[in-house]
Structure 1
């Protein structure tokens, strides 16, 4: 890296800080946490995708596809359930949460089942999201330190402090619009790497001749995830449906975008856009991984620069060794963008939940005159906490990064079960719901410790079934809740049958296209393998 690269990075960071200054004038919690509910579907959809496609995905997905042993295009099976999950969120979860009027989705659970349920789910979210975000910053920082030479503490300060400043100052509007810009940078960065790498291997025809055909196998019909086998079609589809429905609809960091939309029509459009656009972006990740993988394998000098046990270094090493100055700066900006979009969303959502919890429980008295300053203070506290976790990341086992995905799968099924019952079966006994939630999580943790042969994507479905099954069963002896108007099931009443039919057809078509794409890659791989 030279002065040109550092200039690009500094200009980018200054631009981000300007978002905080531009959107600093908020007068209420609604303004700060929901952008005044004035945001349209397009920036929100980019924000949702940018938050999901973190720095870990930016470096790990290409490495898994192009270099990691046992890897390949099976990564695409993560995406199979997304369109179907978007339909469930669009027509079941989102309308209920949006019409509730809360800026914390966990307040909706208190309306249905009482404070204990709300606090249980809220605390689970805050602990896991805060820890996961801190570890994501840690993972990104050690990659930049090892590959680019940026000292660890500088990477953490750049990502953490700058993100904290514009997030705390500008609130949701700053987060969403910076995410939108960052999504463009991430996409542009991937395109740039693909172009340079393709030229490096001698063009498209040369790449096709050299690519390892075994890495093109995508859909595995024979792995069911019960015998230490992973990435089979059925666990990725059924477990993935629960995971994504819970992540997009029941995780504050994502659902807050739903609450920030200007109307339910914008909500449906942002979910539709996410259901359609995620797959092409992930395909681009994978193609970049295949091309860079060919280039790295063919260059012993480049291959030796990547530690055998750290394939995630593949993309950063390639960027530093093969791309010209200026472009290197742009690609480092893309990696920083992927990290910052996830951190800013986490800070804003954690602050929203914490502030609402403190005010609801009476630990903090509501004061309209101080609401924005309190929101900023909550953001600062969570930003510092996340940075603290990242600095202690080195004392935690290196498998924790992978473990974070497992923690999500242990939680997402039970949490989706609670929200599904709150919307569809609101008279379920609150005590039964709490028992079901804790039991669903406990079962998954036992599977984690005592049944490692069961693929963790199944935990999502298992947790959902245990939570709902136990809660519904216990409601009979414990008694149903009293029927009243506030418990009436909320449906998407402003969407016409034609609108619903069109969106169902579009997303189901997207699902079929994904399956056909995977089968096409399977056929190419099978035709080429001995």
Structure 2
């Protein structure tokens, strides 16, 4: 029987204040400044934000309630292996800050998928990328809203449907009226609440157990402490390799090509602020993942003698942390409310950023094609209505997500892997390889999506391996002990009647397609990206590679052009000759004098790029006029 607890009046006050302040921030930005009357202000905050609030906004958006609930449950059930993922996860914002982010910032795109049309000269690939983002975001909203709602309803008298609707309405309200500035500043407020709530729980829990050293001792005796499993079998749920290599590819989509990140990155006042916004996520990610992991250890240490899951006090792992909080903090008025506020702060921050980005993508990539003639004020009104509509969709999907099993952390990471992977793949094809065409990229993206979804759905339907570590009910009541003892006897009898003695976590149990479905879920993202890239390269080569002279330098990541030259199907001209031809072509377009002769010479510049130019322009039958230009290629025409 699931035990229910009741909030004190102080808890209701704390939780209600969090919702009221979030809504108030939205109202403030709706009535001040430009009052959200332009798409630049509503969707991009007029590109005026400093790096710190943007950094906290990005962190809050990607560390939702799924992380706050799922990571402690993960550590409780499977041990500390997941903790080392922090060292790989922090590489994702660094990749975004120094590779993809600066390219998008200089292009001044509102929707990141504008890049795909510029690079491949095809609207089809742009729409495909936008569709993938919309699919991923709307399902993600369902996961984010459902997680804390079901957790809270299981240990209080709040019904799931009421919580989902209440939080969904508040979030949609302040996003629709306050725009990007409201989203960013509510994220800042909600990040503070998340940290305060988790710290309060962790400190009080350590006091209850007897200190962090006692927590560590109990977890070590219980077999929870394990960091360096170097097993190379890809079927093992968490090993050193899956958590260092696999998790990097899982975090790559949100921090490199995700619309939510690009919108915030581009809303800053300068590229320097934009880079710092992502780099500040490195210590932020480290702190949050570590905080949640240590909380998971305290969960196990506190319930080492009586597992509330086996004792039927809660029904699923997502309810572990809320049950724990009400168990140890229920006598302290206001603290359970602070914790619940921290959970829903994570949900609000994630959903609000999704709503704003969904509105931007739907307008820029789908509707603007047909309604580009309308005024900017009407376009802003449309984006606000879109945010409202997507809010309703997110609430509806939260009820569907209720049918999923497993922790919300795994569901969230699996979603990123299955749908986010082909998104990263198609941007890699565009930015790293000059010879890929739109046909190859589209086919690669479809194949990457199909393969990743096939793996994810197959793994969910079969669940062939079980890596949960054992827990005890020795300290529970007598009835529970008898029940567990009976269940253990029945399980032993069933095992003795079968012909196999293999462990539920032994990969040798897998046969046929189960070997594919039994791969660790953290490999799905990497496999989806690799499938997209290799299929895209092959099909591009088979259907006629793009002439690198037709690809603008601003649409390429120079750092990787040489590294991947063997896969790029390089043309006969070298980089120097290609850039010379581009400069000549651009200069010829700018002059109407067909009798002028233009010659260009390039010399090696900074970082090995050819940006120091000598341009000679002469008229037929006259003396030479020579100009020496020292400038990036993009500034040549203005100087000439």
Residues 326-475 of structure 1 mapped to structure 2, 5 A cutoff = 326-362=334-370, 365-394=373-402, 396-398=403-405, 401=408, 402-448=410-456, 449=458, 450=513, 451-475=516-540
Distance in 1, Cα, partners of 2:407 & 2:307: 31
Identify which of structures 1 and 2 has the higher relative contact order when contacts are C-alpha pairs closer than 8 Å and 6+ apart: 1
Q: 347-356 or 290-299: which moved more?
A: 290-299
The aligned residue for residue 263 of structure 1 is 270
Q: 2:74 aligns with which of 64, 81, 89?
A: 64
Does residue 224 of structure 1 match 2:239?
Answer: no
Q: Provide Cα deviations, 1:276-332, integer angstroms capped at 9, x if missing partner.
A: 32112211111112123212335678984633x523222111211221111111111
Shift of 1:35: 1.0
Shift of 1:427: 4.2
Does residue 192 of structure 1 match 2:200?
Answer: yes
Distance in 2, Cα, partners of 1:479 & 1:492: 23
The aligned residue for residue 11 of structure 2 is 5
The aligned residue for residue 520 of structure 1 is none
Shift of 1:473: 2.4
Does residue 156 of structure 1 match 2:178?
Answer: no
* Structure 1 residues not aligned, in runs of 5+: 498-530
Distance in 2, Cα, partners of 1:455 & 1:301: 27
The aligned residue for residue 41 of structure 1 is 51
Distance in 2, Cα, partners of 1:241 & 1:397: 25
Shift of 1:365: 4.5
The aligned residue for residue 135 of structure 1 is 143
Q: Provide Cα deviations, 1:365-420, integer angstroms capped at 9, x if missing partner.
A: 542131221111110010011111123444x3435954453232123332212112
Judge conservation of contact 2:101–2:256 (CA < 8 Å) in 1: yes
The aligned residue for residue 502 of structure 1 is none
Judge conservation of contact 1:60–1:312 (CA < 8 Å) in 2: yes
Q: 1:297 aligns with which of 304, 311, 320?
A: 304
The aligned residue for residue 219 of structure 2 is 211
Distance 1:208 1:446, change over 3 A: closer
Q: 2:29 aligns with which of 23, 29, 41?
A: 23
Judge conservation of contact 1:62–1:285 (CA < 8 Å) in 2: yes
Distance in 2, Cα, partners of 1:458 & 1:303: 30
Judge conservation of contact 1:296–1:302 (CA < 8 Å) in 2: no
For 2:280, what is the secondary structure of its paired residue? helix
The aligned residue for residue 175 of structure 1 is 183
Judge conservation of contact 1:93–1:420 (CA < 8 Å) in 2: no
For 1:105, what is the secondary structure of its paired residue? coil
Shift of 1:485: 6.5
The aligned residue for residue 485 of structure 2 is none
The aligned residue for residue 614 of structure 2 is none
Distance in 2, Cα, partners of 1:246 & 1:302: 34
Distance 1:446 1:205, change over 3 A: closer
For the aligned residue pairs, the C-alpha RMSD in angstroms reads 2.4
Distance 1:465 1:398, change over 3 A: closer
Q: 340-349 or 232-241: which moved more?
A: 232-241
Aligned length: 488
Shift of 1:176: 0.9
Shift of 1:205: 4.2
Q: 129-138 or 401-410: which moved more?
A: 401-410
For 2:303, what is the secondary structure of its paired residue? helix
Judge conservation of contact 2:14–2:338 (CA < 8 Å) in 1: yes
Judge conservation of contact 2:51–2:276 (CA < 8 Å) in 1: yes
Judge conservation of contact 1:223–1:231 (CA < 8 Å) in 2: no
Distance in 2, Cα, partners of 1:441 & 1:485: 26
Judge conservation of contact 1:65–1:286 (CA < 8 Å) in 2: yes
TM-score, reference length from structure 1: 0.86
Q: Look at both structures and tell me which one has the larger radius of gyration over its CA atoms.
A: 2
